[in-house]
A and B are shown apart, each in its own frame.
Chain A
Amino acid sequence: MKQEHEIDFNSRRGFIKTAAVVTVAAAACGSLNCSCSSQKAPAGDKVRLLSPEGEIVEIDSAYLNHQENMAVLSQHDQRVGIPGKKFVMVVDLARCKNARKCVSACQKHHYRPEDTEWLTVKLMKDSENSAPYWFPKQCFHCDNPPCVKVCPVDATFKRQDGLVLIDNERCIGCKFCMAACPYSTRVFNWAEPEMPFEIKSLTYNAETGVPAKVGTVEKCDFCPDRSREGLLPPCVEACPNGVFYFGDENEDTVTNGDETLSFTQLIKDRAAYRFLEELGTKPRVYYLPPKDRQFPVERGYENLPDKLKARFKDIIDQEKKKS
């Protein structure tokens, strides 16, 4: 990924890290009669920033008005998306061994309990004789999203950067989107979600899905809050085997943190496919077929705790019978 516009503020922490960039840049390209900034003496060193319009601008560091934990990306910005981006993911099925680091990283990042999985790893077995393989699944952020089509209040929406997000302050909890999604991606808050108080009291941000609210729908959001900082989503970072390649279709690059590849070349060379293409939903997630696998499939369930292992019981039994 290009990281031209990334600026490192060391003091920044917390999960809502929508940077100071926006306000600063707005001040920079904005009007001259901004009294507060004109009273300061220029420091001399220039900083390059990305303006909301997508231009790179230069500004004197004295005018930087650094805001920590600036929670408020405006509702409008949350709905429009990151300008110029078109997020895409490629999942290499040949590398997955159900290490489940992605799952826990996701849960940690979004403050979700253990049994709420926005990202799940399924054990797939396409037909009687075919070999089972591990199949991690996030939200596909479809370009023709059946969930967005059916939402009666525009609580779930498609952004310019390709993401499908949810405004859980608008969601009425009718669950129509859950019935409409063919990929079982969406999760409902059946009871009051538990989370630390300081998280609960935050202003809701559709880009993080935090804090969760009872009676509303939530799902994988591809972590655009991380992208705004030039970081990769936690699932991508956490994967020990580099299964997930995340990137920007406009830039034609995807990276799993270790290697950065051309998106078109990768899906061409590795014969990528999209899950249930025939439904016409146009997912933004591509899968590389599990050919020349790095791990035997058993590695994924051998050391699992019983509770998790029970999920795959049917297929495990079938495989044992065969051998």
Chain B
Amino acid sequence: MELNTYQQEAFDYQRSNIEKFGKKNLIWSIFFLLWIMVGGYALYLQISKGHVVTGMRDNVVWGLFIVNFIFFIGLSYAGAIIAGLLHLFKVSWGKPIIRLAQMMTLISVIVGPIFILLCVGRFDRLHHLFIYPRIQSPMTWDVLAIMTYFVGSILFLYMALIKDFAVYRDAKMNIPGWKQKLYKILAIGYRGAASQKRHLIISQNLLALIMIPLSIIVSSILSWIFGMTLRPGWHSTIFGPYFVLGALYSGCGVLIVAMWVYRKMYKLENYFTDKHFTNLGYCLMVLSAGYGYFTFSEYFTDWFGSAKWDSEVINKLFNPAQYGWWTLFANFFGIIIPILIVALPKTRKPNWIALASFFMVIALWVKRYLIIVPTLETPALPMQDTRIAYVKYSATWPEWALTFAGIATFLLFFTLMSKFVTVVPLSDLEDTNHHHAHHHEPVAIKTEEIQTA
């Protein structure tokens, strides 16, 4: 593969990340692995003793696992939509962050479904989903949707990687033989010929075109698992778009945090520039407003209508003795703070935006909890049960252990992936170089400055 100046520069800058694992990365990876092992032990307990080791009981039949499932799957959908839009509209500043968005898409669509498997009482019967499928069930729609989406996100990431694999293959890097061989296989003979380029760009455009509506569809289907039931707080016509927006919003936040972490870790200031933080910050602000609007509509209509069953849930959400403080947290850090941080020029800085995004992501996780648990704690009939666990859900340590194991898996995948491919895509820089050379001049100058300094 021939490399132009900018490509060569980006590659030289990042090749050591692929060649060497690095002490810091090793320590983090071991730390993540330990967490995963603790989760593994919790899983062993859950399988050997039954779901009795979780906090779930007959009223609150879904807990942390489903919350995590919605959370991670949401990140995935967001990644695909962001990457798809940046690609299709040829947003030149977006080129360096597309890979990150696509990585998030694939990794979270792997981690998310693990949680729904954890929530299923009979691991051993999962094949029943395929041998006795019932197409009327929203659960079946979701299985089909996620499988389709999984294949889509692998292809989407891979297509964008082929050119890079060709670069790694030809670069004569100081790497073990198996890795070299793997790059050769994954590059599937790409040489940068005109016909290859054309085929690749057509495939990428088509995939981006497919992935955006697909994300919206599968995100809506996810919401329908709840929306299609008759329960207060779930049975809502805006649940589909609400979930789409919530997913997009939290995904945007995770993308900003990931950008900040990689920027620090691999010193990628020239590629993940302040401009990226500001621009994604603006996206964050718009999404926050939209998400806030949906949240308000949802609460306001239920509260104003004040039907008995709806009111019970609303009262729980706003009662300080129940979920009031959590609701406040979820909406303060999930809606108000991000808008303020981006709106004020003083705080419109990478560190502030990343910090706000970090808290926003946690707030959105809490929000998912507030969607699932209070509704399940509010059945139509009075519970009249003296077993506390049956009345009020409280997650047990195996559930938390598995939750953290999921987060650790997510982070471990990110770490390992950054050791296998360059976080900033090389091929995309090539494309922008032809048409928008002037966009990259400041970057080049900065690099020189650093080198001379």
Q: Which residues of A are in contact with B by a Cβ distance under 8 Å? A: 115, 120, 122-124, 137, 146, 149-155, 170-176, 178-180, 182-184, 186-192, 214-217, 276, 279, 281, 307-308, 310-312
Could you give, for residues 364-384 of chain B, a 1 whenever the CB lies within 8 Å of some chain A CB and a 0 otherwise? 000000000000100111111
Q: Is the CB of A150 within 8 A of B59?
A: no
Q: In the assembled complex, which residues on chain A have CB atoms less than 8 Å from the CB atom of B320?
A: none
Kindly provide the distance from the CB of B66 to the nearest chain A CB, expressed in whole angstroms. 9
Q: Which chain B residues lie closer than 8 Å to A173 at the CB level? A: 51, 120-122, 125
Q: Do the beta carbons of B121 and A216 come within 8 Å of each other?
A: yes
Closest residue to A281 on the B side, CB-wise? B230
Contacts of B119 in A (CB 8 A): 174-175
In the bound complex, what is the Cα–Cα distance between A174 and B228 (angstroms)? Answer: 16
Decide if A184 touches B132 in the complex (CB within 8 Å). no
A179 → chain B closest CB, angstroms: 6
- Asked if A152 contacts B139 (CB within 8 A), the reply is yes
Instruction: Collect the chain B residues with CB atoms within 8 Å of residue A124's CB.
Output: 382
Pick the residue among A123, A170, A191, A312 that contacts B128 (CB under 8 A): A170
Interface string of B55-68 (1 = CB under 8 A from A): 01111011000000
Give the complex CA separation of A122 and B383 in angstroms: 8
A184-B383 in contact (CB<8A): yes
Given contacts A152-B139, A172-B121, contact A187 B50 (CB under 8 A): no
When distances are taken between beta carbons in the complex, the residues of chain B under 8 Å from A149 are 136-137, 228
Q: For this complex, into which size category does the number of interface residues on chain B fall?
A: 35 or more
Q: Given A152-B140, A215-B122 in contact, is the A183-B52 Cβ separation under 8 Å?
A: no
CA distance A272 to B62 in the complex (A): 35
Given contacts A122-B382, A154-B134, A311-B385, contact A172 B229 (CB under 8 A): no
Given contacts A153-B129, A190-B52, A311-B385, 9 further A-B contacts (CB under 8 A): A152-B139, A171-B121, A173-B120, A176-B225, A178-B58, A187-B58, A190-B51, A215-B121, A215-B122
Q: Which residues of chain A come closer than 8 Å to B122, judged between CB atoms?
A: 171-173, 215-216
What CA separation (Å) do A191 and B132 show in the bound complex?
25
Contact flags (1/0) for B63-98 with A, using CB distance below 8 Å?
A: 000000000000000000000000000000000000
State which of A170, A192, A276, A311 has its C-beta within 8 Å of the C-beta of B132.
Answer: A170
- Cβ contacts under 8 Å, B128 to chain A: 153, 155, 170, 172
A178 to B62 Cα, complex, angstroms: 10
In the assembled complex, the Cα of A114 lies from the Cα of B296 at a distance in Å of 45
Is B126 on the interface with A (CB-CB < 8 A)?
yes
Smallest Cβ-Cβ distance to A124: which chain B residue: B382
Instruction: Judge whether B58 and A191 touch: CB under 8 Å.
Output: no
The docked-state distance in angstroms from the alpha carbon of A191 to that of B51 is 6
| Contact assessment for B384 and A312 in the assembled complex, using a CB-CB cutoff below 8 Å | yes
Question: Is B125's CB under 8 angstroms from A170's CB?
Answer: yes
- Asked if A176 and B51 sit within 8 Å, CB to CB, the answer is no
Does B276 interact with chain A (Cβ within 8 Å)? no
- Asked if B121 contacts A183 (CB within 8 A), the reply is no
Residues of B within 8 A of A192 (CB): 50
Chain A residue at smallest Cβ distance from B121: A173
Nearest CB on B from A103, distance (A): 13
Contacts of B120 in A (CB 8 A): 172-174
Of all chain B residues, the one with the shortest Cβ separation from A115 is: B387
B143 interface residue per 8 A CB criterion: yes
Chain B nearest Cβ from A57, distance in angstroms = 35
Tell me which residues across on chain B come within 8 A of A214, comparing CB atoms. 50, 121
Instruction: Please state if A179 and B140 are interface contacts (CB–CB under 8 Å).
Output: no
**How many Å lie between the Cα of A307 and that of B384 in the bound state?**
11
Q: Can you report 5 residue pairs joining A to B where beta carbons are below 8 Å apart? A: A115-B387, A180-B229, A184-B383, A215-B122, A311-B385
Given A150-B139, A173-B120, A182-B230: A188 and B58 within 8 A (CB)?
A: yes
Instruction: Name the residue of chain B whose CB is nearest to the CB of A123.
Output: B384
Set of chain B residues within 8 Å of A190, measured between Cβ atoms: 50-52, 56-57
Nearest chain B CB to A96 CB, angstrom units: 15
Question: Do B380 and A172 touch across chains, with their CB atoms under 8 A apart?
Answer: no
Q: Which of A137, A188, A189, A216 has the most CB of B within 10 A?
A: A188
B133 within 8 A of A: yes
Contacting residues of chain B (36-56) with chain A, CB-CB under 8 angstroms: 49-52, 56
User: How many angstroms between the C-alpha atoms of A182 and B120 in the bound complex?
Assistant: 21
- Chain B 150-189: CB-based contact to A (< 8 A → 1; otherwise 0): 0000000000000000000000000000000000000000
Q: How many whole Å from B366's CB to the nearest CB in chain A?
A: 20
Query: Quick check: B58 and A154 within 8 Å, CB to CB?
Result: no
Bound form: Cα–Cα A170–B138 in Å: 18
A152 touches B137 (CB 8 A): yes
Contact of A122 among B58, B126, B225, B384 (CB under 8 A): B384
Decide: A215 and B51 in contact? CB cutoff 8 A: yes
In Å, the complex CA distance between A191 and B389 comes to 14
Q: How far is the CA of A246 from the CA of B285 in the complex (A)?
A: 61
Q: Is B386 an interface position by the 8 A CB rule?
A: yes
Q: Does B231 contact A (CB under 8 A)?
A: yes
